[in-house]
Structure 1
Amino acid sequence: MTNTQFTQIITQHNTSLYNFALKFTKDADDANDLLQDTMMKAIKFLNKFEEGTNIKGWLFTIMRNTFINNYRRRIKVQSIVTQEEDISSYNLLHSSTRNDSETSFAMGDIKRALSGLTDTYSVPFVRYVEGYKYEEIAIELGIPIGTVKTRIHQARKHLQKQLQMYKERIN
């Protein structure tokens, strides 16, 4: 089946997929975004679809998983923002200029430490920090899950070593 044929088949399910997305998101714009993400993933993973199976069910599964993964990423980001707000309110005794300059130095150190990694290690690590699962990273990079885990572990070790001074400040 060609990409064009596949696209024609999956677009027949747009209305039912949109309604399904609307139940998840409760917002028309978010439902459209989820529908678009689902269609893009379906086209990207066309080779994973087995002809003769239920394409509508396959699309609904992609949509559900996409929604769940996006939700997890949002929760992770909100958690990080909340922690940063707690930290900044804890440090209200320090002037904001001092905090800004310290943050700038820390971010610079983190960027330098990350730049010391090859793409082999930095790409899986950054994807993991962004909230992607090991399986998703493995599929995206076309490598085994064990390799993804090893590369993330090695990146962490490298970053811990490079950013040791911040650990010593906390203790």
Structure 2
Amino acid sequence: MVALMPKESHQFEKLSRDYRPLLLSLARKLSSRGSVEPEDLVQETLARALQEFDKLASASDAARRGWLCTTLTNRFFDLYRQRRAEQEQLPGLRLVQSEAVSPEEGLEEKWGEFSSEQFRAAVGRLKPKHREAYELHAQGLRYREIAQKLGVPTGTVGAWISEARRELRGLLTEADQGRRS
């Protein structure tokens, strides 16, 4: 968290008051279709402004205005792309969910046949990004937390974990068939 001196704190409050109407107007225009909450965009923009306040404090009014509007617009596009990616992943996630709810004939019994070592070996053979996302999820992190940790959109994390499960299913099925031969 950024700690401001009393004078800087007063300056930041003034900056927030002065630019909030402009930012809220821009956020409402960008969010007109309801995909992103305007108030959230403004709050996130002001939070970033607080982190960069040492630079913004000495900038001209035009430079501050440009930085704030650009930051808000970029954040909007980030959130829009993230939500679009999540929506695109929904059919695949529903498929994974339906497979988990109604497993294929005999698949449930097969999973119990693999030792922890075999499972860890299969996880070790996953593609690096898939493995990292899968392991973080297995540790109990939520998709959003994993996304922040890896610096990628939440939808990407969902896709990677889904692909990791698919790869694991293939690797373990392959191992099972190798055992039977």
Q: State the TM-score, normalized to the length of structure 1.
A: 0.55
Displacement of 1:44 in angstroms is 1.9
1:11 corresponding residue in structure 2? 17
Larger radius of gyration: 2
1:72-111 alignment runs, 5 A limit: 72-85=81-94, 87=95, 96-98=101-103
When residues 44 and 19 of structure 1 are mapped into structure 2, their CA distance, relative to the original with a 3 A threshold, is same
Q: State the TM-score, normalized to the length of structure 2.
A: 0.52
Q: How far does the alpha carbon of each residue in 1:105-144 deviate from its partner, in whole angstroms, 9 at most, with x for none?
A: 8xxx87883368xxxxx78754425269xxxxxxxxxxxx
Which amino acid in 1 is paired with 2:101?
Answer: S
2:44 corresponding residue in structure 1? 37
Root-mean-square deviation (CA, aligned residues, Å) is 4.2
Tell me the distance in 2 between the aligned counterparts of 1:3 and 1:88.
49
Tell me the distance in 2 between the aligned counterparts of 1:129 and 1:59.
22
Residue 70 (str. 1) matches residue 83 (str. 2): no
Query: Larger relative contact order (C-alpha < 8 A, sep ≥ 6)?
Result: 2
2:8 corresponding residue in structure 1? 2
Displacement of 1:40 in angstroms is 1.2
When residues 45 and 167 of structure 1 are mapped into structure 2, their CA distance, relative to the original with a 3 A threshold, is farther
Report runs of 4+ in structure 1 exceeding 6 Å deviation: 109-112
When residues 84 and 78 of structure 1 are mapped into structure 2, their CA distance, relative to the original with a 3 A threshold, is same
Structure 2 unmatched runs, 5+:
1-6, 112-122, 124-130, 140-145, 175-181
Tell me the distance in 1 between the aligned counterparts of 2:41 and 2:148.
24
Q: Report SS of the residue matched to 2:37.
A: helix
Percent identical residues: 19
